[in-house]
Amino acid sequence: MNNRHIYVLSAVLTLLGLGLFAYKVHVLGFPLRPQEQTQIWNIEAAVRFEPGPAAVKATLRVPSLTPGFALLDENFVSRGFGLATRNAPAGREAQWTLRQASGPQTLYYRALVYRDPTRIAEDTTPPFPAQPELDEPSRIAMEGLIAEVRRQSADVASFTTELLRHLNLAQNDPYVSVFLKRGSTVSDRAHLATVLLAGAQIPARIAHGIMLRSQPGPVEAEQLLEVHDGVQWLYFNPRTLEQGLPHDFFIWWRGDERIADVEGGSAPDVTLAVQQNLLDSMLVAERRAEKIGSHSMDFSLFSLPIATQAVYSVLLMIPIGALVILFLRNFVGVRTFGTFMPVLVALAFRETLLVWGIVLFVVIVSLGLTIRFYLEKLRLLLVPRLTVVLTIVVMLMAGISVLSHKLGIQPGLSIALFPMVIISMTIERMSIVWEERGASEAIQDGAGSLVVAAAAYVVMGIAAVAHLIFVFPELLLLVIAAALLAGRYTGYRLLELRRFKALRPSGNTPSGSTT
């Protein structure tokens, strides 16, 4: 009849739920599995120096544009120094200042870094560099070298590679020997490459960084040559000529300057260190969402106080339990006392665990029933009788707790979490069914409730499901969609196949147990 309406509605809900889900997984990096951990690196720079007699100003270049990685957190540790960070042409700088310092000083910069493939070097295309100012012989050598390299190359990438190869030959190349003295370092050659590339009208700069590997002790900063081909930055290793940004390379600062300068003190001794760590993926995702300005985090359950989060981690599972009940009732045909009573019992099972939960439930309900049958003889009015049953259920629970504690059976204590009002109502309802329709029906319905509660408990206890629902509450839209579809299921229930077996053509003879 209006089935199409329902199909459309559940399709919309499904798409909406899955869309939000996909966004959170792919863009925000929310973890799909519980306890999923993300690799992070603790990086540290320690700047040591001897202050002079006057005011001290120490500058440390700190990471800003870090393709492939993102900063999770950073802090600056110093004693008594004033601190300011600012954006400089070469990146970001931290500046510590102190009017008067005495004795050796150490300043620390620490940051947490995680891998973020979405980060690229997003700064704007640089202008063409100015011609370097060189003396006449150097200028001639440069032009000669550029002409030769240009002849052997096709584009910016091959030009750079060829240039670096020439530089690495150093003394053997007549042009290069003009610039490089014996014993030149990689960093000297990289610097020279930027100068020569400027001469060829190609923007280039040196990127200093570290390899993010877990290694004890200090690490050395390494250099890459960054060259802009008019579209994007290309990376070259000046020593090995390899092109491309190595997977583990974390760019710390750029330019010709050193990582730290100190005014009014001795030259700084800078130590860099890396330590690999694991951190809960959820924390990383949260920070990432914050960084990219997504509001999904502001309105998520993670913005709630921890205690409230704990409550919701349970409450959000109730629809899942309800879905299990829906399935068992409408598709299988199990009968229960009260529609959603089993969910509440299943919640109690979370504390008692399954076997003990069932034992305690059966004990409480059967003791309660016995007392209820006795009360029947007293002919009490309904509400007073319910009150008596409820009180007795509470007392039984307390008694069982005390007894099991004395006997050293710990699970008995958690019985306190049973939904006593619901259990009292169940006892009442069960005793009526018992009297009006007979014991077998009452026990059958009671057992049905217990089976459904156990099934709901098992499903609600799957850690992966609990995690998914809590991190992606939008998946509950799928629960609604499923319930909508189930709402139009008009086929037989599994148990009806047996109930109506007399109606099957060959059904008058009992046929084994298979249906």
Binding site for another protein (CB under 8 A): 1, 330, 333, 379, 381-383, 432, 436-438, 441, 487-494, 496-505, 507-508, 514-515
Backbone angles phi, psi at 95, to 5 degrees: -125, 120
The least distance separating another protein from the CB of residue 389, rounded to whole angstroms, comes to: 13
* Nearer residue to another protein within complex by CB, 293 or 505: 505
* Nearer residue to another protein within complex by CB, 402 or 432: 432
> Which tokens go with 253?
């600062």
The least distance separating another protein from the CB of residue 479, rounded to whole angstroms, comes to: 19
* Nearer residue to another protein within complex by CB, 4 or 86: 4
The least distance separating another protein from the CB of residue 214, rounded to whole angstroms, comes to: 56
* Nearer residue to another protein within complex by CB, 124 or 513: 513
> Which tokens go with 245?
């940004």
CB 268 within 8 A of CB 48: yes
Three-state secondary-structure class, residue 269: strand
> Which tokens go with 384?
């007073």
Backbone angles phi, psi at 423, to 5 degrees: -65, -40
DSSP state of 352: H
The least distance separating another protein from the CB of residue 322, rounded to whole angstroms, comes to: 17
**What span, in angstroms and rounded, lies between the C-alpha atoms of 323 and 456?**
8
* Nearer residue to another protein within complex by CB, 45 or 427: 427
Burial class (CB in 10 A: 0-12, 13-18, 19+), 13: buried
The least distance separating another protein from the CB of residue 11, rounded to whole angstroms, comes to: 20
Three-state secondary-structure class, residue 266: coil
Task: For the chain, state the CA radius of gyration.
Answer: 37
The least distance separating another protein from the CB of residue 515, rounded to whole angstroms, comes to: 5
The least distance separating another protein from the CB of residue 121, rounded to whole angstroms, comes to: 60
* Nearer residue to another protein within complex by CB, 312 or 331: 331
Count helices and strands (H / E) in the chain: 16, 12
Q: How many residues does the chain have?
A: 515
The least distance separating another protein from the CB of residue 379, rounded to whole angstroms, comes to: 4
> Which tokens go with 16?
């909406």
**What span, in angstroms and rounded, lies between the C-alpha atoms of 282 and 407?**
42
Three-state secondary-structure class, residue 160: helix
The least distance separating another protein from the CB of residue 503, rounded to whole angstroms, comes to: 5
In angstroms, what CA-CA distances link 469 with 28, 68, 322, 473, 476? 16, 30, 14, 5, 7
* Nearer residue to another protein within complex by CB, 381 or 407: 381
Three-state secondary-structure class, residue 88: strand
* Nearer residue to another protein within complex by CB, 154 or 383: 383
What is the distance of C-alpha 100 from the center of its chain? 45
What is the distance of C-alpha 141 from the center of its chain? 55
* Nearer residue to another protein within complex by CB, 75 or 514: 514
